[in-house]
Amino acid sequence: MKIAYPIQPKQAVAHLNADSWVLINRRHIRKILAEFAHEGIILPQLLRTHADGGSYQLAVPSKPEVIYYFDASILALNHWSIDPDSIVKKQSGQTVPLDSLAFVVEFNKEMGIEQEMLPVYMEEISSTLSGSTYTYFQGKKSADELVGATYQEIEGNMTGHPRFAANNGRVGFDAADYQYYAPEAASPFPLLWLAGHKSGGEFTGIADLDYDQVMQQELGPELLAQFSEKIKAKGLVPEDYYYFPVHPWQWFNKLANIFSPAIATGHLLCLGYSTDHYLPQQSIRTFYNVSNPTRFYAKTALSILNMGYVRGLSPFFMRTNPGINQWIYELTLDDPYLQDVGFCILREVASVSYSHSYFEQALSVDSPYKKMLACLWRESPASVLREGQQLMTMAALLHVDDKGKALLPALIQASGLSIDEWLQAYFNCYLSPLLHCFYKWDMVFMPHGENLILVLENHIPVRAIMKDIGEEVSLLNSSLDVPEVAERLKVSVREENKTLPIFTQVFDSIFRFVAAILVEQAGYPEQAFWKNVAACIQAYQQAHPEFKAAYETDDFFVDSFHSDALNRMQLRNNRQLRDRKDPYNGRTNVGVLINPIAQFKNNK
């Protein structure tokens, strides 16, 4: 099968019209103002207070004649709830258009970004704006329509991470690539399959899953036989090779050139396209099989720059991921509490990695060039779904449609529950298991919106499914006896920072936005939201007195905390957001945040 881009040059930019561009820049400026103020990158000045908050101004330090004005209310955790229609930019007293790239130019010194990185960051902002304009131009489902949508329909309607200003950079994609491969734009497409000689490749699977089983499931006997015949036709032996999928973009833009020595010598062969079709997930390099949903997810290396990382796959991690996943899976499966609340993980069950021998020999340091050719297979969430249940990425709880209507209030209304009742169900299946893993095993995940899938019944959360286990789980200062394959999960952190992952990923990156949506669009008191969060933590602690000592040393009711400053981290290093060897020591933080649940510490 040959893929040809079905667009003409003018079609690549058809979405870029003046009216849409003005609207998207206004929405994006709102986000920049809110998140940069949250992180202390900018310091808006209060002009006057009013019933709904206050009126603010932000002058450009290098150009004091340029001033931004807007109305906002400041909620808990220094969350700036800004009225987008109130934002006005004036230059020498005259109103001028809102322009996100102009904002980056004006405030790049305050942002602290190095000059060498600034053009790349500006490219990421341009791409984010273009992508947002594309989705607006194409039109997406309304919040009311998404309430009853399928998992993949919801996935394709999401708009990216709520905190990052440059959240859809995808540097490396051209305009046609975007329309073919971006999750919000793509139609189902096949993956490309390669064969890598076993002398340079490695397969790893969980104990009860071998290579042949993976191939039989993922390819089926007919396609598997076709691929084997192609290898035999070259005078080679199929049993000497591992088969694995790659992203088509990766083949044409990276592998065909960089791996040309292996291709020329017959060590790396192109077998052709899959018969199954896939849709990319929000993570862009993970693919959901829409032809056979119970087959595995496929996750492939994709050497584009997106939101703080070049999205390769480490062969070292691929070798250990299945073993780590199986160990954590068995921990959670054998834990009565986690089983009671329905918490489970999607195992990364198998992987193939293929090394570039020259880069491996030449480079003693970590590099994207050593992470270009690997894949892993992950269980499908469809395999754990029961009749009458609906899957939904947790990112959907923060989604706002093109008309400005949030999905969450519509979802709660459809459930028939009160907001309090719905939140209690949500916290029970999301927050409680995270607390349990933390207190029992010193284990933390990266439980942000894209990494977690909610299972709903009648639009009510009943269980949470965690994914991205192998690369985004840590054991903090843990004395837990772990298998050798999981030793790399152990991370040493300062004791006062052990709670930082939950404060950053849950409180600051999820709950802050959920609370704001309910305040803004449902008239729900912010105080009530955080009281429900506190009640969930207290209920867990009262039910588990065996961890009482840890409740004092690792206290989620402290007066304040320092959350990671994600935009600052991206501005400091847009190719490696975190140091994987030292991810949680809080060197780049937003400053002091008053803990909104501290006031409820002594509540019974």
Give the pLDDT confidence score for residue 580 in this predicted structure: 66
Instruction: State the DSSP code for 191.
Output: P
Amino acid symbol at 236: L
Q: Give residue 569's pLDDT band: very low, low, confident or very high (50, 70, 90).
A: very high
pLDDT digits (tens, 9 = 90+) for 155-167: 999 988 999 999 9
How confident is the model over 582-593, as a mean pLDDT?
Answer: 82
pLDDT exceeding 90 applies to what percent of the chain? Answer: 84
In the predicted structure, residue 528 carries a pLDDT above the cut 50: yes
Give the pLDDT confidence score for residue 309 in this predicted structure: 82
How confident is the model over 534-544, as a mean pLDDT?
Answer: 98
Name 98's Cβ contacts closer than 8 Å, sequence gap at least 6: 22, 25, 26, 29, 87, 89
Gap between the Cα atoms of 113 and 207, Å rounded: 46
Work out the mean pLDDT of the chain and round it to a whole number.
94
Gap between the Cα atoms of 469 and 394, Å rounded: 16
pLDDT digits (tens, 9 = 90+) for 40-70: 999 999 999 999 899 999 999 999 999 999 9
Gap between the Cα atoms of 162 and 35, Å rounded: 9
pLDDT digits (tens, 9 = 90+) for 465-500: 999 888 889 999 998 999 999 999 999 999 989 999
Q: How far is CA 152 from CA 184, 205, 281, 287, in A?
A: 10, 27, 8, 11
Name 501's Cβ contacts closer than 8 Å, sequence gap at least 6: 444, 445, 446, 474, 476, 584
In the predicted structure, residue 307 carries a pLDDT above the cut 80: yes
Element (H, E) at 392: strand 389-393
Q: How many CA atoms lie within 13 A of 127 on its CB side?
A: 26
Conformational region of residue 386, where left means phi above 0, alpha means psi within -120 to 50, and beta covers everything else: beta
How confident is the model over 194-223, as a mean pLDDT?
Answer: 96
Give the pLDDT confidence score for residue 604 in this predicted structure: 54
Gap between the Cα atoms of 164 and 566, Å rounded: 7
Give the pLDDT confidence score for residue 1 in this predicted structure: 39
Give the pLDDT confidence score for residue 160 in this predicted structure: 87
Which domains, and CATH codes, for the chain? 175-378 (no CATH), 389-600 (1.10.510.40)
In the predicted structure, residue 585 carries a pLDDT above the cut 60: yes
Give the pLDDT confidence score for residue 358 in this predicted structure: 87
In the predicted structure, residue 2 carries a pLDDT above the cut 70: no
Name 542's Cβ contacts closer than 8 Å, sequence gap at least 6: none
Gap between the Cα atoms of 394 and 532, Å rounded: 18
Give the pLDDT confidence score for residue 602 in this predicted structure: 81
pLDDT digits (tens, 9 = 90+) for 247-270: 999 999 999 999 999 999 999 999
Query: What is the residue whose two structure tokens read 């004092």?
Result: 552
How confident is the model over 547-552, as a mean pLDDT?
Answer: 96
Gap between the Cα atoms of 228 and 220, Å rounded: 12
Q: Are 554 and 292 in contact (CB under 8 A)?
A: no
Beta bridge partners of 248: none
Q: Record the pTM.
A: 0.95
What's the token pair of residue 249? Answer: 């973009």
What's the token pair of residue 398? Answer: 């923060």
